[in-house]
Amino acid sequence: MKTGRIIRSLSGYYDIQISNGEVQRTRARGEFRKSGQKPLVGDFVDFESENDEGLIWKIHPRENFLVRPLIANIDVAVIVTALKEPDFAPNLLDRQLVALEAAHVTPLIYLTKSDLLTESEYIEATKIAERYLTIGYKIILPLSNSTHDDFLELRSELRGKVAVFMGQTGAGKSTLLNQLSPELGLETGIVSKALSRGKHTTRQVTLIHVDDALIADTPGFSSYEVFDFSAETLDDFFPEFVVARQNCRFRGCLHLNEPGCAVKESVKIGTIAQSRYNSYKAFYDLIKSQKPRYNTDNRNI
């Protein structure tokens, strides 16, 4: 029996990498389907394999997982966020942060296109970065005239980790990935071409080696149509709210119309950013208004 990490799934086959770097191909036992389990890219598994034919016998417990894309045991999610063209969108960044908090995935915010900013716009960008640093998020803001040192910082943050990259169209995600590894675009293209011959291509994920990191090729990983938790638990995923709410007058305070709300008081005095509170209110209303969604993406996870 061997143990390894699934780095690719394709048409019912799973490519598993073991500790010496060798990759072996297997299928999953039929028992997994019967028990409602499904191996995911990123899973550590016990398996038997000989001549590229084998079976997965056991899936190890997961640290975390994402549904879009289907991937497990992520160390860091890099949120590639543009400061200009398109303009910085705090609501979108906060939406991604909330989704990652709910999934217990550590985010790293990488701000792009600082070279397009005027001097005054760059000063404003430093205030944005400070806002998220204060909350406790790791954030990289490249200097307006050079990204070299900040790029080295990103490489350092990814070293030895499994990472996914996410970001709105035009934020510079592809450019950043190609800077990390000129071969990455070629590899992901080859993988995508192979996947296009199968079904449900947008649900397929591949982990690709970049230096000593594993980076997920994750098509479609930029939007969250719904939140899969109740509005009453939304504040759990705003770290600064979790700290402030301890001083709310009422237990279970929703931070909307209740008297004695410490979160609203923190917004008033500036220790919680108004933009973050605006995002909270928008997400609360969104969750309350969205129709029940019977998500089948994670039915066998």
Structural contact between residues 253 and 245, judged by C-beta atoms closer than 8 angstroms: yes
What letter does residue 245 receive in the DSSP assignment? G
pTM, rounded to two decimals: 0.87
Distances (CA, A) of 194 to 11, 59, 170, 227: 10, 26, 25, 32
The binding site for GTP consists of 112-115, 167-175
pLDDT in tens, 29-49: 888 888 888 999 999 999 998
Binding positions for Zn(2+): 248, 253, 255, 261
What pLDDT is stored for residue 218 in this prediction? 58
* Res 75 pLDDT > 50: yes
pLDDT for the residue 5: 97
pLDDT score for 8: 93
Other CB atoms within a 10 A radius of the CB of residue 220 amount to 11
Does residue 199 carry a pLDDT above 50? Answer: no
DSSP for 173-199 reads HHHHHHHH-HHHHHHHHHHHHHHTTSS
Which is more confident, 225 or 220?
Answer: 225
Q: How confident is the model at residue 283 (pLDDT cuts 50, 70, 90)?
A: very high
Amino acid at 148: H
Binding residue numbers: 112-115, 167-175, 248, 253, 255, 261
What percentage of the chain carries pLDDT values higher than 70? 84
* Gap between the Cα atoms of 186 and 194, Å rounded: 13
- Kindly state the percentage of the chain with pLDDT values over 90: 62
Which run of H or E residues covers position 208? strand 206-210
CATH code: domain 2-61 is 2.40.50.140
Q: What is the pLDDT of residue 49?
A: 83
Rounded average pLDDT over 44-73: 90
Looking at residue 202, what is its pLDDT?
A: 39
More confident residue, 51 or 17: 17
Q: What is the pLDDT of residue 298?
A: 53
Q: Name which CATH class applies to 66-217.
A: alpha beta
Higher pLDDT among residues 291 and 4, named by residue: 4
Q: Which pLDDT belongs to residue 184?
A: 60
Write down the domain spans for the chain: 2-61, 66-217, 231-289
243 has a pLDDT exceeding 50: yes
Contact 93, 109 (CB under 8 A): yes
**Which CATH number does 231-289 carry?**
1.10.40.50
User: What is the average per-residue pLDDT within 286-290?
Assistant: 91
Q: Residue 147's pLDDT is what? A: 59
pLDDT for residue 181: 76
